[in-house]
Amino acid sequence: MNDRTLAGTGATPRAGVGTVVWYRPDAELEEPPEDGVDEDEELGRFAEARSVAREELERERERTAERVGDEEAAVFDAHVQFLDDPQIEDGVEAAIEDGLPAEHAVERAFADPIEQFEGMEGRMSERADDLRDVRDRLVRLLTDGERTDLSTLPDGTVVLAERLTPSDTAQLDPERIAGFATATGERTSHAAIFARSLALPAVVGVGGELNEIGDGTTVVVDGDDGEVVVNPDSERRAATADGREADVRHDPVATEDGTEIDVAANVGRPAELDAAKSQGADGVGLFRTEFLFLDRDAPPIEDEQYEAITEALAAFPDGRVVVRTLDVGGDKQIPYLDQPEEENPFLGERGIRRSLGPDEDPFETQLRALLRAGAAEGGDLAVMFPLVATVGELDAALERVESVAADLADEGVEHAVPELGVMIETPGAVFAAEELAERVDFLSIGTNDLAQYVMAAARENGRVADLHDPLHPPVLRAIETSVEAAHANDAWIGMCGEMAGNPNLTEVLVGLGLDELSMSAVTIPDVKANVSKTTREAARALADRVLAAETKETVTELVEEP
C-alpha cells in the first residue's frame, strides 16, 4: 500500500509519524478434552483466576490514576464489577458443568454479552471492549499466558490494532509511542479518552482497510483530521514532525465580537501543571484534590495540602485555579476513610455529604490549607464544593468556611477567603441554582455526573451508556437553566469535563453562555481556536436550535453541521 490515506475518527488533536507495529493479542485456545473435566478443580481454577484478576485491576487502577487521571482510572472499577457479574459467573459455571475447562468456559460465558453490546448503537457498543478486556485477562491467567508489554515498544512506534482495550491503552508510553490507530472504536471510547489524557495522536474507527498496512510501514496518524496516511511523502512527514506548537495560544481568547472565554485545564496531579501551561491554559478550572488522599494510610496533613495548592497557584500567577474539595464516594474509594458498602454508591455518601458528615475532620483540615493558600502569592484561588443537592448543604459548607477563618484569625495565621462556588452535578442543584448562585461567586457544571443523574444512567453501567450523554436535550436544558441562574445573580459559570473539551461543541457552549471551559490539556489549543472563530450571535443561534431539539440525534446533527 503506497501513498494512501485512510479515513477514521480523530480522537485527539495531535499528529505523529512512525513505524507500524501491529498488536494482535487474540490467541486460539487448544481444543477442550473429549473426556470432560473435573468440575470442582475447574471451578477452583476460575475462582483463583478471578481473585488474581481483581488484584491486577486494583494495581492497574492505581497506576492509571497516577499516569492518566482518576476519572479515566475509574473504568477499572467497572471491570471489577464485570468479574462479579452474576450472569457471567452463572455462564462460566454452566459451561464447566458441560465439560469445558475454565478458560473455554470463560470464552463461552462472555461471548453472548459481548455480541449483545456489539449490536447496540453509540456508547453502548463500546462496552464490548470492556468485556473483552476482562475476558482476555481471565483467559491469560487460566492458561499462564504472557501479556504483551506495550510500554516497552521501540521509540517512534505507531501501534495498529483491531481494537485497544483500556488495559492496553493505559500501557502506552507517550515518550515512545508516535500514535495509534484502530479499526474499530469511536471518539467516546476508553481508548480515545485515554489518548486525549496522554496527548497521544490517535485515530479510531478506520475499518478493515487498516489490516492492509503491514508491520514496518511508515505512517502518519493525524488525530486532528482523522486520517492515517500510508507511506507519506517527505513534505508530509516533515510537517507532522514539526507538531502543532504554532497553534498553541498562551494569551486569553475571545469570540470575533469580543466575548472573552476562559479556557482552562483539568488537573489531577501537580505533575500535570506543566502540560497545562504548555498547551496554553489560562488557568486551572478543576484541580482534583483526591490524589493527595490516595495510596496512603492516613489523610494528608494541612501543610502538604497547602504546598500542593500553592504550587498550582504559582504555575498560573496571572490566572485562576479552581480547587474542588475532597470528592470521594461513588467510584472513588479510600479505605482509611471507612466508607460504607452501599447498594448504589452513586446515590449514597458522596462529595459534600461526606465532608459535612463522616469526613468533617479531613474537610476542616483541607479548608485550613485552602484559606491559607488564599493569602499566598500567585494566581487567584477559587474553591468549589462537589455534589451539592440542597441549599442547606451549601449553607452548612459556608458556615464551616466561616468557622475555619475565625479559628485561623484567632491563631494569628495569615489567610484569605477565596472565591467560593458550587458544582452543578445534580438535578437538585439545577432546580436550586438561583438560590445557590445568590450565595456564591460562581457555579461549575460537572457534565459527567450531571448527565448521569439527569438521565438516570450510571456512568460505568454499559447497559445504559447511550443515555449517559450530555447531548440529550434534558441535560442541555439543565445547563441552560444553570447558566441563566448564575448570570442573573452576578456569578460566573464554568464547565469541566469531557463535554467542555470536545472542540465540536465549543460553539454551542459559547452560545449557551458559559464563561469558562475546562478540559484535558491536549484539547485546549483547538477549543481556543474555535472560540476565536465564532461570534456570540452565531453561537447563540446554534444554542437556540439545539435547545429546541427533541432528541439527541437531532442535537448531534446540529452540532456537526459545517
Could you read off the pLDDT of 216-243 as tens digits, one per residue?
Answer: 999 999 988 889 999 998 888 877 765 5
Helices (H) then strands (E): counts for the chain: 22, 17
The verdict on 54 and 202 lying in the same domain is no
The verdict on 210 and 256 lying in the same domain is no
Within-domain flag for 452: no
Measured in whole angstroms, the distance separating CA 162 from the mean position of its chain's CA atoms is 23
Pairing of strands 9-12, 4-7: unpaired
Q: What is the CATH number of the domain that holds 56?
A: 1.10.274.10
Residue 468 annotated in active site:
no
Residue 245: what pLDDT? 45
Q: List, in sequence order, every residue forming a beta bridge with 56; answer none if it has no partner.
A: none
Q: Are 379 and 317 in contact (CB under 8 A)?
A: yes
Within-domain flag for 467: no
Q: 5, 419, 412, 396: which is closest to 225 by C-alpha?
A: 5
Within-domain flag for 414: no
Q: What is the CATH number of the domain that holds 196?
A: 3.50.30.10
CA distance 562 to 559: 8
Q: 282, 77, 6, 69: which is closest to 196 by C-alpha?
A: 69
Within-domain flag for 470: no
Question: Residue 12: phi, psi to the nearest 5?
Answer: -155, 140
Within-domain flag for 187: yes
Domain residues for the domain of 293 are: 246-407+498-560
- Residues with Cβ within 8 Å of 6's Cβ and at least 6 positions away in sequence, in order, are 206, 207, 209, 210, 227, 228, 229, 230
Within-domain flag for 437: no
The verdict on 109 and 161 lying in the same domain is no
Spot the catalytic one: 79, 415, 468, 496: 496
Coil, helix or strand for 267?
Answer: strand
The verdict on 517 and 384 lying in the same domain is yes
Q: What is the CATH number of the domain that holds 542?
A: 3.20.20.60
Residue 175: what pLDDT? 81
- 22-46 in b/e form (b: 16+ CB < 10 A) is bbebeeeeeebeeeebeeeebbebb
Q: List, in sequence order, every residue forming a beta bridge with 253; answer none if it has no partner.
A: 261
Q: How many domains does the chain have?
A: 3
Within-domain flag for 453: no
Coil, helix or strand for 531?
Answer: helix
pTM above 0.85, yes or no: no
Q: Are 38 and 99 in contact (CB under 8 A)?
A: no
The verdict on 263 and 378 lying in the same domain is yes
CA distance 314 to 333: 30
Residue 91: what pLDDT? 93
Domain-ending residue, one of 142, 174, 207: 142
Spot the catalytic one: 79, 104, 190, 415: 190
Locate 240 and state its grid cell. Answer: 507532522
Residue 415 annotated in active site:
no
- Residues with Cβ within 8 Å of 382's Cβ and at least 6 positions away in sequence, in order, are 320, 321, 322, 323, 418, 419, 420, 421, 441, 442
CA distance 350 to 342: 11
Task: Give the per-residue SS3 of 388-435.
Answer: CCCHHHHHHHHHHHHHHHHHHHHHCCCCCCCEEEEEECCHHHHHCHHH
The verdict on 170 and 51 lying in the same domain is no
The verdict on 48 and 130 lying in the same domain is yes
Place of cell 441562574: 485
Helix axes 536-548, 473-488, angle to 10 degrees: 130
The verdict on 258 and 328 lying in the same domain is yes
Domain-ending residue, one of 101, 118, 142: 142
CA distance 449 to 470: 10
Domain-ending residue, one of 90, 107, 142: 142
Question: Residue 254: phi, psi to the nearest 5?
Answer: -145, 160
The verdict on 135 and 43 lying in the same domain is yes
- CA angle, residues 470, 390, 370, in degrees to nearest 5: 85
Question: Residue 436: phi, psi to the nearest 5?
Answer: -65, -45
Q: What stretches in the chain show pLDDT beneath 70?
A: 1-2, 26-27, 66-71, 119-126, 241-246, 329-333, 339, 342-343, 345, 459-463, 465, 562
Q: List, in sequence order, every residue forming a beta bridge with 493; answer none if it has no partner.
A: 443
The verdict on 173 and 79 lying in the same domain is no
The verdict on 303 and 396 lying in the same domain is yes
Q: What is each CA distance from 500 to 173, 262, 447, 503, in whole angstroms?
A: 26, 12, 8, 8
The verdict on 166 and 63 lying in the same domain is no
Within-domain flag for 308: yes
